[in-house]
Amino acid sequence: MAAGEQVRTRGGAGGAPALAIFQASLRALLTGRRWIVVAVLDAIFVLLAVLLATQTDAASHQLHLVELFHRLGLPALLPFVALLFSTEALGAEVEDRTLIYLTLRPLSSVSIVVAKFAAAFVITLAATWLPLLISFVLLGLNDTPAGQLPALLLAGAIGSAGYCAVFLLLGLLLRRALLIGAIYILTWEGAIAALSTSAAHLSVRFYTFGVYAGILRRDEFLNGEPYPAPAGAFIFLLLVVLGALWWTARRLRRTELK
Amino acid sequence: MTQTELVPATSATADAPPVPDGATIVLRGVSKWYGDKVALSDISFAIGPGVTALLGPNGAGKSTTLKLLTGQLRPSRGVVRVLSEPVVDNPALYRRIGLVPEQESLYPQMTARGFIEFAARLYRLPDPAAAAERALKLVALLDAADRNLGEFSKGMRQRVKVAQALVHEPEVLVLDEPLSGADPRQRVELMGVFDQMAATGATVLISSHVLSEVERMGSNVLVLVDGKLAAEGDFRQIRELMNDRPRRLRVLCERPRLVAAALVQLPGIVELRLQDGGLEVETNDARAFAVAVPRLARDAGARLTGVEGLDEGLESVFRYLVE
């Protein structure tokens, strides 16, 4: 075959390079020690759900489920699981200098970033939905009207997407993305945004809670906790995801591999 | 190579020669600096199909040049074109370029076959499995194809890197020190692969700091020294220049005074110094010296145990060329 003849062939059985990157990233993220931390976070969440289910009155289970999600799921489970997987999704290739095997292929940086985001998001979703589902089974089955499950799953999904997009960018920008991300979660979202409503407007957690509360529609469980309008919160998180992915793709395109 | 004689490189952009027909890689007035550090300074050259070697000592700017012409770096100044297209922000061009990067790292959890198939899928090849099989066969890695890359030796990793670079049969193949870590047999095999690529009409640009490697690869060379293009042209002329330059040699022998007395009669001897266990010689005619020294030692009744070059390093050769 003459040089260049084959490379002009497009599509075919081997097409969908973004799918290939997604699959390879998924396989890479399924291994490694970060799973130990994720398993510990999941176990703590489930253990607390078990304790609440066995040690408290059934009539208060709905309230406890809301509290569990609000006090542990939102501030710890979602962001830390997303942080562990998303910073690794691109950051590992930056760190070990294998990024070249993606960027020097005939692919747009957008398709690389979207594939990486999808892999991190799917794994984060699996690792967060599982404990949320278990906690619902333990505490929320007597839910009337049945708003808990869709609220947990949808808020879990959109929150995970927001965190994954932001931390994917962080993994490309910073060498110590895991540490910086953890500091962001603990200090900005955990402390500053918790004390100041205006600061909360710049946190993924605030809008995720808005989506959750908006679907749940049970203000009696929320102790007057402020939350944004659900539709606005959803749109804001969507914009965060799109903005972070656009920035990551732009940065990837302009990154010099020294 | 578009210029066959060894010539000092053109430097100023305005003085760069017109791009010859058939040139596949063109750099015109290219500079690259990082802050205050100049990595490449005003380089211009054009090469066409066939094997071209990019030579230079470590730190001369070879890797920077290769990174510029594969779009990994953006030039601080100047123009880089490959296959008549700009390289920066042009991912479609990678369909026609293959690169063996400098770094050794690969995905340790992937098998060699998985890695090459992955590359083939990213190139949208119609049958990634068949393309991977073909590439692995070319680099003689079929036996180890299903082992994890994390278990591979340096030489095997080099061959995997070559396989991923040619799985899509590129028109331009860029290789950064591709023979590093390969054993002598693997070197011969890999060089055969590069020759084969060049024979199909591809442009193969290989960087190396090992002169003997380059000598076997092809006659066209670009010589970089201290971020500047010091020379370009035919390798044989570099060899001749090397043979013509004064050489410093150490002669290890018994009775060095007697041997020195005999050697001093030889044409081209510039300097002789006695040392423990032998003598140090500077000569303008290394070839005649090499022929004569065993005979003269024997005539002097001295046992000759060795002759070694003292300035064979590539850096000294290149500096000589530049001077």
pLDDT of B10 above 80? no
pLDDT tens-place string over residues B31-79 = 999 888 999 999 999 999 999 989 887 888 999 999 999 999 999 999 9
Chain B CB contacts of A255 under 8 Å are: none
- Asked whether residue B1 is assigned to any structural domain, the reply reads no
User: For residues B295 and B299, what is the distance between their CA atoms, to the nearest angstrom?
Assistant: 6
- The pLDDT value recorded for residue B36 is 86
Nearest to A28 by CA among A91, A89, A78: A89
Would B251 be classed as within a structural domain?
A: yes
- The domain tally of chain B equals 2
ipTM: 0.83
Cα of A105 to nearest chain B Cα, Å: 5
Q: Cα–chain-centroid distance for residue B306?
A: 29
CB contact under 8 A, B164 and A101: yes
pLDDT tier at B4 (50, 70, 90 boundaries)?
Answer: very low
Highest mean pLDDT of the ranges A149-163, A208-222, B9-23: A149-163
The reported pLDDT for the residue numbered A60 is 87
Pairing mode of beta strands B25-34, B77-82? antiparallel
Residues of A with CB under 8 A from a CB of B: 1-17, 20-21, 24, 27-28, 31, 96-98, 100-109, 253, 256-258
**CB contact at 8 A, A2 and A8:** no
- Summarised one tens digit per residue, pLDDT across range A191-225 is 888 788 788 888 999 999 999 988 887 777 677 77
A-chain residues near B103 (CB < 8 A): 97, 100
Residues B91, B222: one domain? Answer: yes
Domain span including residue B156: 7-235
CATH number, domain of B134, equals: 3.40.50.300
Mean predicted confidence (pLDDT) in B27-34: 94
Name the more confident of A255 and A155.
A155
Contact assignment for A16 to B121 by CB distance below 8 Å: yes
> What pLDDT digit, counting tens, does each position of B129-146 carry?
999 999 999 999 999 999
In this structure, the answer to whether residues B53 and B118 fall within a common structural domain is yes
Q: What is the CATH number of the domain that holds B307?
A: 3.30.70.100
Asked if B123 lies within 8 A of A13 by C-beta distance, the reply is no
Residue type, B66: L
Q: Do A7 and B170 lie within an 8 Å CB cutoff?
A: yes
Q: Do A4 and B99 touch (CB under 8 A)?
A: no
Angle CA A98–B71–B319, to nearest 5: 95
Domain identity same for B304 and B255: yes
Say yes or no: B34 and B163 in one domain. yes
pLDDT for position B212: 66
Residue B216 lies in a domain: yes
Cβ within 8 Å, pair B201-A98: no
CB B275 within 8 A of CB B250: yes
Q: How far, in Å, CA of A215 to CA of A154, rounded?
A: 9
Q: What is the mean pLDDT of residues A158-179?
A: 95
- Confidence band for B239, pLDDT divided at 50, 70 and 90: low
> For A253, which residue in chain B has the nearest alpha carbon?
B89
Residue identified by tokens 């479609």 is: B92
Same domain membership, residue B266 and residue B170: no
Distances (CA, A) of A30 to A26, A86, A124, B105, B237: 6, 12, 11, 20, 56
B252 in contact with A at a CB cutoff of 8 Å?
A: no
Query: Closest residue of A to B165, CA-based?
Result: A101
pLDDT, tens digit, for every residue of A79-128?
999 999 999 999 989 988 899 999 999 999 999 999 999 999 999 999 99
Tell me which of B202, B235, B268 is where a domain ends.
B235
Which tens digit of pLDDT belongs to each residue from B253-285? 988 999 999 888 888 888 899 988 889 998 888
**Overall average pLDDT of the B100-118 stretch:** 93
Quick: pLDDT tens for B306-317. 888 776 555 566
From B186, B212, B235, the end of a domain falls on B235
Nearest to A3 among B103, B125, B171 (CB): B171
> Does the structure show a pLDDT above 70 at B24?
yes
Q: Which of B184, B205, B235 is the C-terminal boundary of a domain?
A: B235
Flag if A17 and B170 touch (Cβ within 8 Å): no
Are both B226 and B249 inside the same structural domain?
A: no
| Mutation site for B-interface testing, chosen from A104, A250, A258 by largest number of B Cβ within 10 Å | A104
Place A142 in a pLDDT band, splitting at 50, 70 and 90: confident
Q: Nearest C-alpha of chain B: how many angstroms from A258?
A: 7
At residue B2, does pLDDT exceed 60?
no
Q: B2 in a domain, yes or no?
A: no
> Cα separation of B275 and B56, whole Å?
32
Worst-scoring range by mean pLDDT, A26-35, A36-45, B156-165? A26-35
Tell me whether residue B240 is in a domain: no
In a domain, B91, yes or no: yes
